[in-house]
A and B are shown apart, each in its own frame.
Chain A
Amino acid sequence: MRPFALNYARPVREAEVSAPYTYDSALQLNLLPDGGVAARDYAVLRECAATTSTAGSKTHFDD
């Protein structure tokens, strides 16, 4: 009784990378420890894969 598509399911290899930034409610932005804006630091964004096409896929399916 297994749907056909599930025969092609596989584990998601989502690395649980801890984001090196925290949300600042005053600026309504995520900031790095040095106070810089995380969105301006592409190296950081690449590192934590927070903007990839599957980011947030656990809760949203609009990749």
Chain B
Amino acid sequence: MTVLILTSEQDVTADLAVVELNTRGIPVLRLDPAELPGSVEVSGEFAHGTFHGHLSVAGRVVSMGGLRSIWVRRPGTPAARARAASPWLTEEASQALYGMLRCTDARWMNHPDAARQARHKPWQLWLARNCGLPVPATLITTFPRVAREFAERYPDLVVKPVSGAHPGDDGLAVPTTRVRPGEDYRDVAHGPTLLQRRIRKAADIRLTCVGDRMFAARAADDNDAGDGVVDVRFHSDAGPWRPVPVPRRIADAVHAYLTRSGLAYGAFDFAEDADGMWWFLECNQSGQFGFVEIETGQPIGRAVAEWLAGEPFGPPGPGDGEEGVSVCPAP
């Protein structure tokens, strides 16, 4: 039975799991949907009440019926590199590939339906709160008056994109940034705006979840945010990341979140305040984990490989620290 990995060739983070799978002799088929059609080929026949599908890349041919799991890591847009690339061909290739893969019994990390839902930040906040995670007061609005009133109640705010996406191809990003004092909120009318009460961070927490396993890492926040940016992703001197135990209450709530969202993988971001409370910020259903593994030694790539294989690989070897998976009682 084969593990199918959908990602780009240059995705070296995926390699952290592929290495583990190769070492255990577990068959892997790695392909980028951007190469379909081209170096990636697909075929499926629906006849006599059955379905038989095949995938091919670089001389490897795998039956879709022989897939044990599918890892949707960082796939390119289907047909993006086809000779006759077009939005129509992208839709055709996407429907063919993902439509057939949905016909298999393979386990998904993550299923496209769960992934699509999980990307919605308003839903993330709602689900996190419902699962018992502390969530900072948040407003998403196109009403300037409502934004002003929110700012009166919570004078110290941050702004961030609702979608998490960058604005475009002009090299701009909108990091989580403190709202300037005396801000004029009229522009709120020109686009949905997410405002959130700023948590005075003692540290950033990245909690990477692979199935039932949790790897928590903490980076003390000693950035003075002189430019107003409070987004750890945009601090070049962030870290070092160190493994920390997960408070029991948080672990239970995160487990509930994953169960209700149908996610097999999730990278949760929390802000730890001065009292040690972890405030939920977001859950990235395909968040990066390589930087955490490199700095903490937590064997996340191995955990991903084990989940994809559907079997444990035995005792961890030297260097495969397990520090991040421990859970501590609630304070």
* Contact B19 A37, beta carbon cutoff 8 Å: yes
Q: Could you say which residues of chain B place their CB within 8 Å of the CB of A11? A: 171-173
Q: Could you say which residues of chain A place their CB within 8 Å of the CB of B185? A: 4
Give the docked Cα–Cα distance between A25 and B30 (Å).
9
* Contact A53 B287, beta carbon cutoff 8 Å: yes
Give the docked Cα–Cα distance between A60 and B288 (Å).
10
* Contact A2 B187, beta carbon cutoff 8 Å: yes
Q: Which single residue of chain B is at the shortest CB-CB distance from A6?
A: B167
In this complex, how many residues of chain A approach chain B with their Cβ under 8 Å: the count is 43
* Contact B175 A10, beta carbon cutoff 8 Å: yes
Give the docked Cα–Cα distance between A4 and B301 (Å).
39
* Contact B284 A63, beta carbon cutoff 8 Å: yes
State the A residues within 8 Å of B (CB): 1-13, 19, 21, 23, 25-30, 37-40, 42, 45-46, 50-63
A39's partner among B5, B16, B284 (CB-CB below 8 A) is B16
A5, A19, A46, A55 — most chain B CB neighbours (10 Å): A5
Q: Mark B139-172, 1 if CB is under 8 A from A, else 0.
A: 0000000010000000000011101111100011
* Contact B190 A4, beta carbon cutoff 8 Å: yes
Within 8 A of A (CB), among B1-60: 5, 9-13, 15-16, 18-19, 22, 28-30, 57-58
Give the docked Cα–Cα distance between A38 and B206 (Å).
24
* Contact B74 A39, beta carbon cutoff 8 Å: no
Q: Which single residue of chain B is at the shortest CB-CB distance from A24?
A: B9
In this complex, how many residues of chain B approach chain A with their Cβ under 8 Å: the count is 61
Q: Could you say which residues of chain B place their CB within 8 Å of the CB of A51? A: 12-13, 288-291, 293-294
Given contact pairs A5-B161, A51-B293, enumerate 13 new A-B contacts (beta carbons under 8 Å).
Answer: A3-B191, A5-B160, A9-B174, A28-B29, A28-B30, A30-B9, A45-B294, A51-B289, A53-B233, A55-B290, A59-B76, A60-B286, A62-B287
Give the docked Cα–Cα distance between A39 and B11 (Å).
10
Q: Could you say which residues of chain B place their CB within 8 Å of the CB of A62? A: 119, 164, 267, 284-287
Give the docked Cα–Cα distance between A4 and B159 (Å).
9
Q: Could you say which residues of chain A place their CB within 8 Å of the CB of B290? A: 45, 50-52, 55
* Contact B174 A8, beta carbon cutoff 8 Å: yes
Q: Which single residue of chain B is at the shortest CB-CB distance from A43?
A: B294
Q: Does B194 contact A (CB under 8 A)?
A: yes
Asked whether A10 and B301 contact (CB < 8 A) given A23-B9, A45-B12, A63-B233, the answer is: no
The 3 tightest CB contacts between A and B, nearest first, are A51-B290, A3-B191, A39-B15
Q: Which single residue of chain B is at the shortest CB-CB distance from A48?
A: B12
* Contact A9 B15, beta carbon cutoff 8 Å: no
Give the docked Cα–Cα distance between A54 and B233 (Å).
6
Q: Could you say which residues of chain B place their CB within 8 Å of the CB of A9? A: 167, 172-174
Q: Which single residue of chain B is at the shortest CB-CB distance from A44?
A: B12
Q: Could you say which residues of chain A place their CB within 8 Å of the CB of B82? A: none
Asked whether A21 and B187 contact (CB < 8 A) given A5-B174, A6-B174, the answer is: no
Q: Which single residue of chain B is at the shortest CB-CB distance from A21?
A: B12
* Contact B167 A19, beta carbon cutoff 8 Å: no
Give the docked Cα–Cα distance between A30 and B45 (Å).
34
